[in-house]
Structure 1
Amino acid sequence: MSLPELGRLGFGAAGIGNLFRAMDDDVAAATVGAAWDAGIRYFDTAPHYGLGLSERRLGAVLAGKPRGDFVISTKVGRILEPAANPQGARDTEGFDVPADTVRRWDPSEAGIRRSIEDSLERLGLDRIDIAYLHDPDVYDLEAGINQALPALEKLREEGLVGAIGVGANSADALRECVQAADLDLIMLAGRYTLLEQPAAADLLPLCAERGVGVANCGVYNSGLLARAEVRGDAHYNYAPAPAYILERARALASCCAEFGVELPTAALQFAAKNPVVRTVVVGAGTPEQIRQTAHRMAEPVPAELWEAMAARGLLAEDLVRG
């Protein structure tokens, strides 16, 4: 199918699902509203994000917008089921929400259909534009490929979803999925960034060959590239960054500074340079964060910066051409 226009910048809604810390409903709504005001029209969520909280909050804001004016994606693979929680336990998978629901992996056609139906109810919307299979490599990649992807293809044929794809942190897993199914899009997390580009070797050329678009996310590598100066306590892949990673990030930041560009601005814009990338998806915890991100994406970045990085061995020569 022909993918809808996603825009250069998309909004990732994990943060409004209370990722790592609680957020008030009003702040969540204001953050989504700020993304809209900044011109963002592609919004990505998932049942996994806050055990459905992200979908509910996002849907509540978008329900007041013209349905034809935005694109929304959510994910399948994890079914949410009620759980007894008499002790008031909190979620153990990174979201500051009550553990009143449990995630259950279900790649079957029935599970995929139920996931879509549940998401539509939480979102309060009439349709989902893009459905991604979420993290199949975390559970069972073979079952994801053999069960979930054919089910998604069937749902697309029936018109229940507009486009289908896979979202994962692993470039190798995504490559297997692109080879195995007729996908429209992949969501690539952290594997094509200013810091590292393992997806450039095989995955992105394969996507170009098969006409599969890429939604690039995780472009700050767990926050490592999110500040102009790289801090010693920065994280990489959700853990404290090792010394060699900090050294590389600081070399990138130093090169950026010589051209009057801040590291996060370069990280954002590099992530969009490859022609197969349809959008760069970034989350936010406050309205100001998403406004700043939109500003960074619009700032001019001189081509000489990429050339300098290539000359210093910080980027491969063939990656500096957009």
Structure 2
Amino acid sequence: MTVPELGRLGFGAAGIGNLYKAMDDDVAAATIAAGWDVGLRYFDTAPHYGLGLSERRTGAFLSTKPRDEFVLSTKVGRILESVDNPAGARDTQGFDVPANLVRHWDPSEAGIRRSIEDSLERTGLDRIDIAYLHDPDVYDLDAGIREALPALERLRAEGLVTAIGVGANSADALQACVLGAELDVIMLAGRYSLLEQPAAAGLLPLCLERGVRVVNVGVYNSGLLARPVVPDNANYNYAPAPAPILAKAQALAACCNEFGVELPAAALQFARSHPAVCSVVVGASNAGQITETAARMAADIPPELWTALVARGLLPEGALHG
């Protein structure tokens, strides 16, 4: 199983698909350009992100770069279908875009092939390097494993994609997929972070055993770990953080501060520390954010910080790697 070299940090393109708020084309272009300028060469998008807007903006930028100098991943499973929208309704799944398209779950081989063809058309690029089945547990995990994953295996055998995988928020769902197919890579969202590590017990060791690479995303837990100081109104899993979760995040931030480390830098570098993880993918809503993220990934962190986090019960024993 071959996964292209992704680099420690990759660019997540949900933000430039108008996640939560609209973004001008020039701001989107400047944001992804800033990622390129700091050395990022792995770009992840999906039809879901802005009903295709993210794919179009990502492709428009990457089409100006030599094709062999970057890696592009997108997702399959959600087909976009045109609908009439005379009232100008907006998307209801987190993206500030017109609801001129609807997402339709289709795990069939025909649906997977159509999804790849549609993504190629939207990006304007000649190939997709990595294709992930997107959130099968949200729809029908059994059908995803039974239909979509064998279809992806055939696309890989035909050379239509280089590598295949699954992206999900559930460590259990991803583990079932790793056991159910010959995957190259998975995209793990929010389940191996400085705050919590449910993937550490079963999924990540299984990936190491099977040679499946892990792209770690959602490492700030919906923004909870994204700032040096955790506010009392912070969110966790896209909702107000429960008191125990908030208290732990604030304790993590306080410990980091004692060692002169920003919480987001520790969160990024911890997320990359597991030997199964090959890359951490982070989004941005402006150029400054992605530049700051790259600096945090490169920041010096004293080993004593990690030891202190374990000693205070903020990280479990055995959580330190290397």
Overall identity of the aligned pairs, in %: 75
Alignment of 1:290-305 (within 5 A): 290-305=290-305
Contact 2:275 2:321 in 1 (8 A): no
Alignment of 1:167-316 (within 5 A): 167-316=167-316
Corresponding residue SS for 1:269 = helix
Q: Which amino acid aligns with 1:84?
A: D
Corresponding residue SS for 1:317 = coil
Q: Which amino acid aligns with 2:70?
A: F
1:110 to 2:110 alignment:
yes
Q: Which amino acid aligns with 2:159?
A: G
Counterpart Cα distance in 2 of 1:305 and 1:72: 35
Contact 2:9 2:40 in 1 (8 A): yes
Alignment of 1:136-155 (within 5 A): 136-155=136-155
**Structure-1 residue corresponding to 2:17:** 17
Corresponding residue SS for 2:196 = coil
Counterpart Cα distance in 1 of 2:249 and 2:16: 28
TM-score by length of 1: 1.00
Any idea what the Cα deviations from partners look like across 1:246-268, whole Å, max 9, x if unmatched? 10001100110110001000000
Gaps of 5+ in 2: none
**Structure-1 residue corresponding to 2:88:** 88
**Structure-1 residue corresponding to 2:71:** 71
Any idea what the Cα deviations from partners look like across 1:132-184, whole Å, max 9, x if unmatched? 00000000000000000000000000000000000000000000000000000
TM-score by length of 2: 1.00
- Report the number of matched residues: 322
Q: Which amino acid aligns with 1:317?
A: E
Any idea what the Cα deviations from partners look like across 1:159-218, whole Å, max 9, x if unmatched? 000000000000000000000000000000000000000000000000000000000000
1:44 to 2:44 alignment:
yes
1:220: Cα distance to partner? 0.2
Any idea what the Cα deviations from partners look like across 1:87-138, whole Å, max 9, x if unmatched? 0000000000000000000000000000000000000000000000000000
**Structure-1 residue corresponding to 2:34:** 34
1:2: Cα distance to partner? 1.9
Q: Over aligned residues, Cα RMSD in angstroms?
A: 0.5
Q: Which amino acid aligns with 1:20?
A: Y
1:321: Cα distance to partner? 2.2
Q: Which amino acid aligns with 1:283?
A: G
Corresponding residue SS for 1:40 = coil
**Structure-2 residue corresponding to 1:100:** 100
Q: Which amino acid aligns with 1:48?
A: H
Q: Which amino acid aligns with 1:57?
A: R
Counterpart Cα distance in 1 of 2:121 and 2:40: 23
